[in-house]
Amino acid sequence: MSETVLPVIDILPLTKVNFADFGEVIELDGAQNFAINQGFTQRYHHLSEVELSEAADKAIINVFRSRRWGHPISLSMVEQHPLGSQAFIPMDKRPFLVVVASKTQSGEPKALHAFVTNGEQGVNYATGVWHHPLLILAPEQDFLVVDRSGAGDNLIEVNLATDLQAQIDLNSLIEQHITK
């Protein structure tokens, strides 16, 4: 019996333009900023917006500690949060991968897109954006996560149709971004 070989997905640099259809890139580069605290602190203002679907919802802050997946990574599922946005901000300066899916007219995943951060960027997935769970290049990495808390189920997971599945070979990315 032959094993199905998944196509390797192209990985683009994470930029505001490349990621605009899926949410916001959280980064200091180009951000509005000004001095506060008698000039001892620079405030980088309004980097992203938390989306909440109901007035009773609350924005909450979490820390996620993630472990690296095996090699290669099979991209066979995605998830979405239909009731609010979800932001991931690395707590160190290590790059990570962002995998999202564009949608069909009916809202189902259509095509995968992969990005690599520069280690100083975070992402805020817009409400309802299909994305893969955290994919890191380091053995372990912590993220500050801004999320929604409130009534209702804010997580939908789906297995991708076989023709949408792909894989990522981390070896070259790890060499390029972690061993520096």
Q: What structural domains and CATH numbers belong to the chain?
A: 11-177 (2.60.120.480)
What is the predicted pLDDT for the residue at 122?
97
Which parts of the chain register pLDDT below 70?
Answer: 1-3, 172, 174-180
3-class DSSP assignment, residue 177? helix
Sort strands 96-103 and 135-136 into parallel, antiparallel or unpaired. antiparallel
What backbone phi and psi angles, to 5 degrees, belong to 89? Answer: -125, 115
What is the predicted pLDDT for the residue at 70?
84
What is the predicted pLDDT for the residue at 180?
47
From start to end of 14-57, where are the E strands?
23-26, 33-36, 41-44
What is the predicted pLDDT for the residue at 177?
62
pLDDT tens digit string along 25-63? 999 999 999 999 999 899 999 999 999 999 999 999 999
14 Cβ contact partners less than 8 Å away, ≥ 6 residues apart: 25, 98, 115, 116, 117, 118, 121, 123
Structure pTM? 0.89
